[in-house]
């Protein structure tokens, strides 16, 4: 009968120092060294070492250190252009809302002024019709 083993602990993701990553990438790039050998030497998978090599080739230390993919300069320019366009549209919408608010406020102020004039005229007419003193 075959023994069954249970995994009773949760393994956390290992973190590697930038110096260790760089050392492994450099070693794997030396003539006569294989990625598999260097990966075994450092106790990592060869796919992880290949990922570090790719990121190093694409963006250098910053990419390896951050464990991020590198975005090409053209991609950054496109994103900046898109941000600029969105900010421009947002600014235009803000101005449109402000102009609409000011127009509506002016209309309300004019309507209020007309209503006050009409109210004064009605009071004056009422005092004239009732024969009271004008105040």
pLDDT in tens, 78-91: 889 999 999 888 88
The domain spans of the chain are 18-66, 72-135
| Closest by CA position to 26, among listed 17, 14, 35 | 35
Give the pLDDT confidence score for residue 81 in this predicted structure: 92
d(CA 19, CA 25): 10
Hey, what are 18's tokens? 């930038």
Query: Three-class SS of residue 131?
Result: coil
**The Cα angle at residue 49 between residues 45 and 55, in degrees rounded to 5:** 145
Sorted by sequence, the CB contacts under 8 Å of residue 58 that are 6+ apart come out as 69, 70
Note whether 44 and 24 are within 8 A (CB). yes
- Would you place residue 67 in the very low, low, confident or very high pLDDT band (cuts 50, 70, 90)? low
| Residue 12 pLDDT grade (very low, low, confident, very high; cuts 50, 70, 90) | confident
């Amino acid at each position: 009968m075959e023994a069954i083993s249970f995994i009773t602990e949760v393994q956390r993701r290992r973190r590697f120092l930038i110096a260790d990553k760089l050392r492994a990438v450099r070693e794997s790039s030396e003539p006569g060294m294989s990625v598999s050998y260097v990966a075994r030497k450092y106790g990592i998978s060869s796919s992880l070492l290949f990922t570090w090599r790719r990121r190093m080739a694409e963006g250098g230390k910053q990419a390896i250190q951050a464990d991020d993919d590198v975005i090409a300069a053209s991609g950054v320019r496109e994103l900046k252009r898109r941000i600029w366009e969105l900010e421009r549209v947002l600014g235009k919408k803000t101005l449109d809302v402000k102009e609409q608010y000011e127009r509506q406020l002016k209309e309300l102020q004019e309507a209020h002024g007309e209503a006050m004039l009409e109210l004064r005229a009605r009071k004056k007419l009422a005092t004239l019709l009732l024969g009271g003193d004008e105040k």
